Structure 1
Amino acid sequence: MGTMRSTSPGPRALRPDGDGDAMMAKEQGGNAAARRFPSRGGRELTLDPAQPLVMGIVNLTPDSFSDGGRFAGPEAAVKAALALEADGASILDLGAESTRPGSDYVSSDEELRRLLPVLKALRPRTQAALSIDTRKAKVAQACLELGADWVNDVSGLRSDPELAAVLRDFDCPLVLMHMRGDPKTMQDSPSYEDVLSEVRAELGQRLEVALAAGIDQRRVILDPGLGFAKRYEDNLELLRGLAALHSLGCPILLGASRKSFLGRALGGESSPPPPAERDIATLASIAIGHRAGVAVHRVHQVRYASEFLRTLVALEGHKH
């Protein structure tokens, strides 16, 4: 799988040119696309689609769609995060605001109340990169000051105009996700004429916003936002066409884990299994993402994903 080490940053990524067909993008998903992502504290990840990384989800919310309210306190969350690292997670994504469809906005102070005790206890006990799933500048800054490495912004720098400056100043990796609207209303009436072309264009626009704010493109990872302001058919089309996103010149993160479109694909519209029973379906999405050159897979069940990817890599003949 991908590696973590201490060394210098890799070469500057190409600026997005907005074209290039899916086949060319898929070919770029091999070793030539490997990129080093230095993090604070000397931790560095190599993002290589040929040896993809697993990001483990640590939900610190009472109302996330899959496992909200799971932890009784900070120590329980820390133990769960360390278990995810032991299972193969190179990155741990800590989130304290649910972004499931229909979820309510959470204040920065409440996010920090949930996040900081876990982050303070976890940072000295893990070698994994710590990602903070937030769309707020105040939360990002406080967590980066305490040793967090990445920021995962589901809003694509649309929610908080001050966030880009924080990320620029800390020079940290940023996951830039596609979403229309906000979590509360995003599934009310999503509509696309050509979802793949529109998502690619809109991600390109958000990337340009990041670059204009002074964020280094070598720090940006793109997430197509499966399940965020997307209909069932939109999610399937995006998943099948992921390789086209390589034309934007950034590594791709895929976050399909346990989402409702997988439940519908598995059990039909009338009887989808509950989120905790969608891990095998998640592996199917990972297989498609791997063929498309995805560099990071964000999942709930890390052991399954890690073993599945290690097996794929070995069968393909790549070393890990």
Structure 2
Amino acid sequence: MMKRFCKSLLLLIFSCFLFGGAVLEAAPVRLRSIWSNGRRNVNLLDAAAGFGASVSRSASQIVLTQGKNRLVFQPDKRYAYFNNVRVNLCFPLLRQGQTPYIGQIDYNNVLAPYLGSKRVYKHPVGRIVLDPGHGGRDRGTAGQRLQEKTITLNLTNRVARILRSYGYKVDLTRTRDATLSLDARSAYANRAKADLFVSIHVNSAADRSVRGIETFCLTPEGAASSNSGKPDPRKYAGNAKNPQNFLLAYNIQRSMLAQTRTTDRGVKFARFAVLRDVRCPAALVEVGFVSNRYDEANLGSAAYQDKLARGIAAGILNYHRSLAR
């Protein structure tokens, strides 16, 4: 009996060392892994069992079902769908024989926070800093009629009014058409002792057919950003909140989609300067492509801005409420 207990204790300690404290919330002690492509990858079937999720598989996809949650993965693809919201992974899903493996970084910072108990990531949410992108001499991107700096300020004010109506203390990094550096924005949030930071932006693309919304969080250390295939080992202050960053970005993206019914470009990872040094959970929202005539028309509409504002605010509220579960 004592020998069996000691063996289990050693496995528990090893799992804590290998995967970090967050994983122990729901994952099985025996979580098999392999080393491939220069990184550790976790057995997705073991992970599903640890979170009480059932698994169905076909040649083209692996589906995890946990209560109302439905996660769809595809072998060799660098994205998945969590309840129909596109989630870009740091690394492609691997398959060894018939067994699928998810990158350990994705397991720790995406899968475990999403399927496990959120209580392990709980923190106070009272003061929120919203950051209207660009301003002053920096107009940001521009379309046929609209400038990014104007859209972001108008939209951020709408979000702030909603959040204040729920009792949150909300500060804006700028309240007028003023020039503000990226470093100054994150520094403002840190001085204000923000519990959450959300930066609001407008997108643009050379291909004018591209449209839709996407939400970014800081790329975990050792991972590749969504628009890059090269992992980066650097760790920033913002990486201390990797799981919360993802949960915040996911909730905002999902709520914006529910409000607008527009094109889903997914939850993504990036090492944006405005996210790197923030010492609280943070996300950056791209609310549409001003280079696309449909998106620009929507972004110029007060009714559509209200939908976006309600979506961003609801995402923040849902994130906060989820931490109690």
Q: TM (normalized to structure 2)?
A: 0.31
Higher RCO (CA < 8 A, seq sep 6+): 1
**Based on CA coordinates, which of the two structures has the bigger radius of gyration?**
2
Greater fraction of residues in strand: 2
Q: TM (normalized to structure 1)?
A: 0.31
